[in-house]
Structure 1
Amino acid sequence: MLRFFVSFLLALSFLQNASADVNIGTWNLEHLSVRPNKDFQGIAKVAQKVDFLAVQELMNEDALQALAKELTRQTGKHWSAMASHAVGRSSYKEMYGFVWRDDVVAYEDGAVTYLDRNDTFEREPYSARFKSLKDGTTFVVATVHILYGKSQADRASEITALSDYWAWLKDTYPGNNQIMLMGDFNTPPTSPAWDHLDASAKPLMLAGASTLSTTDGKFANLYDNIFVSKNTAIRVNDVQVFNYPKFLGMTHAKGRDSVSDHAPIFLSANFSGGSPSTASAQPRPTLPNPMKPAVIANNGAKNLTVAIRGNKKTMVYHRPDCPSYNAISEKNRVEFDTAAAAEAQHYHLAGNCH
């Protein structure tokens, strides 16, 4: 009887832990924008396999909202989305995006784009903190798209700079070792370039490949990955490259044309598993909300700002959550630290901001 009772408790514990699992994904969706040949139905059919998805190569916020809308339609559950501002040194720019299922994950705080003082990154990483509604634990997701360039040497400088970024993440979200850095690194985890990354970080994908080759069923490079801390409280139950062309029943040529030349990385994780999270033992700091302007200081060396954007042609200003935040042309854009600073210069809030 005692043996049965112990077995029952173990089985119950397993079921409870499994029910707390959150499925996380990262996917380079290759120039994601609303255009006729982009298969949003197919993308959503794959994306609904996870509860939270980090997106790289997002070209505009309308595309991310279209994906969230299609996910809501297909699953019958509401999905939310948030995007970074457009990043890039040249006229070509990209955005990062997060999309999540509202009954499983909630945005907590701290949505910020890294202020790269050394101007190393072509596209500065983007991060935010979220909460698992299954067990109330919080986790941090950071995403990046490393410059491909003309050779591995072109990528190496950004990979090296990730060491400083990883340290910055730990300083910016103190008391939370449940940090995940994910995206398209354009570099396999076996590259010597990774030797510079903080020794406390480790990749979850060590073998396989995530970019579509020209041959159906075959993949070329393991460029996409998810990094976590070696002492993280995250219990990883499964991580895989998801073969989306096979799942959708399409050729690689069709997939590359209508979906992406990358397959997503999917992770099943329990954020309350493993060793206790230090986040629950220490008071959590107040981090910036994209609804409000804020500045985070990092040891006095780096500051990260979520800025108010004004249009000097229309004398209207926009918060980061406003629909037209990224629509202001470069020549008309002016930034303020706060809404009050904008209003002091006789700017007024855009009418489509709620």
Structure 2
Amino acid sequence: MVLRLFVAWLALLPLSTQADVLMGSWNIKHLGWNNDKAMPQVAHVANHFDLLAIQELMDTSALARLEQEVEAISGEAWSSMASRELGHSSYTEHYAFLWRESEVAYSDSAVVFLDHGDVFSREPYAARFRDLETDDVFTTATVHVVYGDGVSHRLPEIEALADYWQWLDEIAQGTPRLLMGDFNLAPDHAGWAPLRRLGAEPAITDGLTTLSTTAGGYSNLYDNIWYDASVLDSSDRGILRFPDLLTMGHQEARDRISDHAPVYVGLSGAKLHPEHATDGTSVPRASTPECIDLNTSSVSRLDELPHIGPARAKDIVEARPWASADHLTRVNGLGTARVQEIQTSDLLCQ
């Protein structure tokens, strides 16, 4: 009887759990510049995550607008914060964090790294957050490694990330660490050896994250999340290919959203569920015409047609006006069969 009561008492004790949030990292190409950014669509992608680290924030007012947009889509309260302007030249950017208030709360220690060695062009930015369900605290950091003229210009910052990882221990105070960002270096490069020796591992080892100009194409695995893999339990990880989610051509996605796809890692049971992103409502679409007109549509819109890449789209523009889609056989590489596929795609204006 005493043993049964003891077991029952143990069952009432809180279990030791880990954060169960979905963490994302996204370089949102020049967020805040006057570049016709499709903010509702950006917000739809951001709404897939509980906590999102953002690189290339050019104006903090754009972060405030993104927060408003994602609140409108999700029907939930969100919060955000940004670093000061960072950069050694006339090109500067902010880092930012955006989080869902029902899942995550800011804890403390938001700080830009004091780079005494003056290695980083844009010093990393870190903060501690708390999972509201489990009360666990974790330390997140974000960085955008300089691109430079080649890999040799990136390696000094990559190597310095090992020192930064150790410095994060002071901020982390024993909590798990995640280093998220656009590193401009593939995770299998030898330059990561110093960070790997400290126990950090990349969440993403397969796939590509940079949108190419070719429809459906990707290149480079530069975006990643390095984390304490021995401490954190990863329940999901991957790349969110948002052009598929938004049914958007790559050229338009690069122009109006970003040329980078976000990466993510789920902790202790959290998984990405794209179908739940808008609570069953339709995906917001960019304000573009319903059909594609051979005589008025942009190159990026024409690129969405079957068998039409950027080069053929330009040829179509240069050959205007078009009296009929039947005449597309005049474009190099478009035979009768391909033109028929274009006509039956239901994308052309009738």
* Pair in the same fold by TM > 0.5: yes
Match of 2:22 in 1: 23
1:164 aligns with 2:167: no
SS at match of 1:261: coil
Map Cα deviations across residues 83-111 of structure 1 (whole Å, 9 max, x no partner).
00000001110000000011110000000
- Change in Cα spacing, 1:79 to 1:88, as seen in structure 2 (3 Å) is same
Moved over 6 A (4+): 16-20
Contact kept? 2:18, 2:267, Cα under 8 Å: no
**C-alpha RMSD of the superposition:** 2.0
Match of 2:331 in 1: none
Match of 1:254 in 2: 252
SS at match of 1:238: strand
Structure 2 counterparts to residues 101-116 of structure 1, below 5 A: 101-116=100-115
Distance 2:35 2:77 in 1: 24
Report how far residue 268 of structure 1 moved.
1.3
- Change in Cα spacing, 1:241 to 1:18, as seen in structure 2 (3 Å) is farther
Match of 1:78 in 2: 77
Count of residue pairs the alignment pairs up: 255
SS at match of 1:106: strand
SS at match of 1:67: helix
Structure 2 counterparts to residues 184-333 of structure 1, below 5 A: 184-199=182-197, 200-232=199-231, 234-270=232-268
Report the TM-score, using the length of structure 1 for normalisation: 0.69
Distance 2:32 2:160 in 1: 29
SS at match of 2:92: coil
Report how far residue 185 of structure 1 moved.
0.2
Report how far residue 245 of structure 1 moved.
0.5
* Bigger proportion of residues as strand: 1
Among the aligned pairs, what percent are the same residue? 43
Report how far residue 18 of structure 1 moved.
11
Which amino acid is the alignment partner of residue 239 of structure 2?
V
Structure 2 counterparts to residues 140-159 of structure 1, below 5 A: 140-159=139-158
Map Cα deviations across residues 224-282 of structure 1 (whole Å, 9 max, x no partner).
000112421x211110110100100111100110010000002211299xxxxxxxxxx
* Bigger proportion of residues as helix: 2
User: Any gaps of 5 or more consecutive residues in structure 1?
Assistant: 1-15, 273-354
Distance 1:271 1:89 in 2: 41
Report how far residue 197 of structure 1 moved.
1.7
Map Cα deviations across residues 258-311 of structure 1 (whole Å, 9 max, x no partner).
010000002211299xxxxxxxxxxxxxxxxxxxxxxxxxxxxxxxxxxxxxxx
Match of 1:130 in 2: 129
Map Cα deviations across residues 205-241 of structure 1 (whole Å, 9 max, x no partner).
1111100011222210000000112421x21111011
1:100 aligns with 2:115: no
- Change in Cα spacing, 1:114 to 1:246, as seen in structure 2 (3 Å) is same
SS at match of 2:219: coil
1:88 aligns with 2:87: yes
Structure 2 counterparts to residues 324-343 of structure 1, below 5 A: none
Larger Rg: 2
SS at match of 1:197: helix
Match of 1:6 in 2: none
Which amino acid is the alignment partner of residue 255 of structure 2?
D
Report how far residue 35 of structure 1 moved.
3.2
Map Cα deviations across residues 112-149 of structure 1 (whole Å, 9 max, x no partner).
00010010000000000000011111111100000000
Report how far residue 23 of structure 1 moved.
1.0
Distance 1:39 1:257 in 2: 9
Contact kept? 1:137, 1:271, Cα under 8 Å: no
Contact kept? 2:19, 2:136, Cα under 8 Å: no
Distance 1:77 1:17 in 2: 28
Distance 2:75 2:110 in 1: 27
Report the TM-score, using the length of structure 2 for normalisation: 0.70
- Change in Cα spacing, 1:111 to 1:167, as seen in structure 2 (3 Å) is same
Match of 2:334 in 1: none
SS at match of 2:88: coil
Contact kept? 1:125, 1:144, Cα under 8 Å: yes
Match of 2:58 in 1: 59
Contact kept? 2:86, 2:123, Cα under 8 Å: yes
Report how far residue 198 of structure 1 moved.
4.7
SS at match of 2:218: coil
Contact kept? 1:34, 1:66, Cα under 8 Å: no
User: Any gaps of 5 or more consecutive residues in structure 2?
Assistant: 1-14, 271-350
Report how far residue 159 of structure 1 moved.
0.3
Distance 1:174 1:231 in 2: 17
